[in-house]
Amino acid sequence: MMSSTPHTTLIRDEALRLGFDFVGFARAERLNDEARRLEAWLRQGAHGRMAYMENHFDLRIDPTLLVPGAKSVICLGFNYFNPEKQHDPEAPKISQYAYGQDYHLVVREKLNQLLAYMQAQIGAIEGRCFVDSAPVLEREWARRAGLGWNGRHTLTIHPRRGSYFFLAEIICDLPLAYDDPIRDHCGTCRRCIDACPTEAISPEGYFLDASRCISYLTIELRDEIPAAFQGQTDNWMFGCDVCQDVCPWNRFAQRHQEPAFEPHPDLLQLSRRDWIEITEEVFGAVFKKSAVKRAKYAGLTRNIRFLFPEEPAG
C-alpha cells in the first residue's frame, strides 16, 4: 500500500478527469459543533414540513456510522452554472440547477466510477457515495475539506468559482492527506440577505429559515403554498437563484461543460402563456430526465397557479 499522499494525488487527478471541478479531503470524525447547530435549527422549526430532517440525527453528524471504520470524507464540487436565461422575461422562472438532467443521477454515476477506480488502483476500500440523497451534512464537510466557506446565505462559496456547484462525497476507510478549511470571506456583504424576496435568511446571515425559502415552498412543500407569500416569490416556479445571483463571488462563475446539464431545446423558449397552459404531455417531454420530476406535473402547475391566480389555463 502506498502512503496517503500518493493516494490523495491519484484520487484528485481522476476526479478532475471525470469532470469534477474541485476536490478536497477531510478527516472522518463526529461533528460535535455542527450537531449543536443542527439541534438548534430543528428546535426553531426552520426545517418546515421536512420531517425527514429530524430523522437519523446520529448518522448526520458521524460519518463512521454510515461507513464503519471510515477514515476520510472525499468532498467534490461539480459546476452547473449556465448564464442562459429564459427568453420571455415574464415567464415563471426555474432554477439553473434543474435546467438539464437530474444531477443526482449524473453526479452519482461519476462518483461510482471514481470509487471503482480507487478500488482498482489502490486495493480493497470500503466506501459509499453520496450526492444530496442521504443524511450527510455536505456543506460542513465541504468547508472542512477546503472547497469553500459557508456564506451568509448558508451555501458553500468557492473563492475562484462562486457557488453554482453541486456537492458530493465519498466516505471511505482509506486514510488520506487532509486539506485545511478556507476562512470566511463574506466580510460585511449583505446582498443575499437584502435580496431574499421572502426574508428567509436571518438579519445577521448564516441561518436559513427553510420554511420561508422559495426553493422549499416550490419543491419541498407538498401542501398549498401559504397565501401570506402571495406576490413575494419573485416569479419563481421551481427553486430560486436570487441569493446566488446577487453574490459578488459568482462573478467568477464559469459556464459548465457537462452535456447532461444542457436544457431541453424547448425549456428556455416557453413563454409565460405556454407555462400557464402547460399540459402533462409537454411537462413529460421537457422534464423527462430532470430533477423537476420530483415536483411532478401537479406540483409544478400548483406553483404556476400560485404565481398567476387570475390567469386560468386554456
Domain count, the chain: 1
Q: Which three cell numbers stand for residue 293?
A: 420530476
Asked whether 91 and 237 are in contact (CB, 8 A), the reply is: no
Within a domain: 108: yes
Asked if pLDDT for residue 2 goes beyond 80, the answer is no
Within a domain: 142: yes
* Nearest-angstrom CA–CA distance, 274 and 48: 32
Within a domain: 253: yes
* Nearest-angstrom CA–CA distance, 236 and 304: 9
Asked if pLDDT for residue 53 goes beyond 90, the answer is no
* Nearest-angstrom CA–CA distance, 285 and 287: 6
* Nearest-angstrom CA–CA distance, 110 and 107: 5
pLDDT of res. 134: 84
Q: What is the pLDDT of residues 158-199, one digit of tens each?
A: 999 999 999 999 999 999 999 999 999 999 999 999 999 999
Element spanning 284, H or E? helix 280-286
pLDDT of res. 1: 41
Its pTM stands at 0.94
Domain that holds residue 203: 1-309
Range from 3-12, 49-58, 283-292 that averages highest in pLDDT: 283-292
Residues known to be catalytic: 132
- How big is the chain, counted in residues? 314
Within a domain: 172: yes
Within a domain: 314: no
Residue 260 per-residue DSSP state: G
Asked if pLDDT for residue 56 goes beyond 50, the answer is yes
Q: Work out the average pLDDT over 271-297.
A: 95
Q: What is the mean pLDDT of the chain?
A: 95
Q: What is the pLDDT of residues 87-124, one digit of tens each?
A: 999 999 999 999 999 999 999 999 999 999 999 999 99
Q: What is the pLDDT of residues 135-167, one digit of tens each?
A: 899 999 999 999 999 999 999 999 999 999 999
Backbone angles phi, psi at 100, to 5 degrees: -105, -150
113-130-93-285 Cα dihedral, nearest 10 degrees: 50
Backbone angles phi, psi at 111, to 5 degrees: -60, -45
Band the pLDDT of 49: cuts 50, 70, 90. confident
Nearest of 74, 10, 98 to residue 283 by alpha carbon: 98
